[in-house]
Amino acid sequence: MRRVFGSVRSRATLGATLVVAVALVAAGAAVLLSLRSNLIDQAGNEAQRTAQSVATQLAGGTAYDKLELDDDGPVQVVDAGGTLVAVSDDLERISGTGTDAVRPQPQQHKGDDDSDDDTGEIGEDTDFSDGSATIDGETADYRFATVTVEAGDRGTLTVHAGGSLDAEQSAVNSALTVMLIGFPLLLGVVAGVTWLVTRRALRPVEGIRGEMAAITASEDLARRVPVPDTHDEVARLALTTNKTLTALETSVERQRRFVADASHELRSPIASLRTQLEVGAAHPELLDLDGAVQDTVRLQGLAADLLLLARLDAGERPGDARFDLGALAREEAEGRAGVTVAADAVTVAGSRGQVGRVLTNLLDNAGRHARSAVTVSVHKDGAWAVVAVADDGDGVAEADRERIFERFVRLDEARSRDDGGAGLGLAIARDVAVRHGGTLTVDRAPAGGALFELRLPQAP
């Protein structure tokens, strides 16, 4: 049972059926109450007309035994003392009028002689009550109307007249029977239609789920889920899923390439260092300590770069420390030959160490390719803090201006690894810039070399 109602289709069907059921019950109750109220009002109006007719006769001085009383409903005429003085024919029992008498008491009154002086006045108010009466052996419910009349010498008389509620009860019972039969059928139709429509709507979702299960089992991230031609939420879900798969495939491929490149880059210094140590162990006089130290330093720097990239890929937050970018640029450029700095005071927020690493990488790159001079400038540009690092070297070809920011990319593959590095510096610099909400681009410098421009948002 839990499994059945655990599906979206089952819950949607149950929910829709319950909502419709509540609406039908509420609407049915309102209809029955309105129908009953209208029919009761009709019975009351009928009873009021009868009571008014009898009261008119009494006000005109008609004798009790000559009153024209309604044969279809019960009528009572009661005097001021509570004595029943006139009643409709065949009345056997009555309740709800205040008096249960059904046999009138003999009365001798001046009004019995139809005197013209025995006139009266009918009261303006009409009271209503519910009760029952038995006429000629048949018992039924009635709506009673009560009217008072000042009948001259006969004093105050009260007329009770009843209007039958049989029509109200019959109509209400018929409507209730129709509802009891029709509502379950209608709920069955609603449940069936909802089940079919939901199954049709969720069929693409099942296709997406099945394909995702197959992708998980096969580990083939090149596969994509089917996109239904419906232009609805399910289609957008499929498109988003495919975009996620594309991003995941790219990330996995990038990780594989990163591991392969890192293994390749680490192999060379490790192999060189091992060779030198083995030679030194066999022939101590041939040990190249300087070369071993250089390989160790290079290996240490490469390991640091790889660890920083791993932290960046893991989404490490840069922090929100505030620092002066101009002062940091002067600090990183200090002691470098041929480097001139023109830096304004500009405050940014983030990781001072990571931004300093960006400046170090840019200055190292410019120093490797410059002929004689490197210039560094820091200034404000609207809401941005801008660092420009330019050299007077050969520059970067336009076709390579994005490729140089890829990991392990070196434009001159024939150059010495010791001179060129592992090709991670610019990749690290761009990743850090992006994670600080900025950009890092390269263009042509005025002196003909490369111009790297780092843009970071100023601290508020």
pLDDT tens figures, 5-22: 457 778 888 888 999 999
Residue 23 confidence (pLDDT)? 92
Q: Are 17 and 194 in contact (CB under 8 A)?
A: yes
Split at pLDDT 50, 70, 90, the class of 229 is: confident
**More confident call, 412 vs 317:** 317
Q: Are 12 and 198 in contact (CB under 8 A)?
A: yes
Mean pLDDT, the chain, as a whole number? 85
What are the distances in angstroms from CA 74 to CA 70, 87, 129, 156, 244? 7, 8, 13, 20, 83
Pair (118, 76) in one structural domain: yes
Split at pLDDT 50, 70, 90, the class of 4 is: very low
pLDDT tens figures, 373-400: 999 999 999 999 999 999 999 989 988 8
Kindly tell me if the per-residue pLDDT of 161 is higher than 50. Answer: yes
Pair (326, 451) in one structural domain: yes
Pair (243, 309) in one structural domain: yes
How much is the average pLDDT of 118-127? 81
pLDDT tens figures, 409-423: 776 543 444 455 567
The pLDDT > 70 percentage for the chain reads 93
Residue with tokens 């001159």: 412
The pLDDT > 90 percentage for the chain reads 35
**Do the domain assignments include residue 267?**
yes
**More confident call, 366 vs 280:** 366
- Rounded Cα–Cα distance for residues 202 and 205 (Å): 5
Pair (285, 375) in one structural domain: no
How much is the average pLDDT of 430-459? 93
Using CB atoms within 10 A of its CB, is residue 450 exposed (0-12), middle (13-18) or buried (19+)?
buried
Count of alpha carbons within 13 angstroms of residue 347, beta-carbon side: 6
Pair (361, 395) in one structural domain: yes
Q: Which domain holds residue 441?
A: 321-457
Pair (243, 337) in one structural domain: no
Residue 111 confidence (pLDDT)? 44
Pair (309, 346) in one structural domain: no
pLDDT tens figures, 242-251: 999 998 888 7
Kindly tell me if the per-residue pLDDT of 241 is higher than 80. Answer: yes
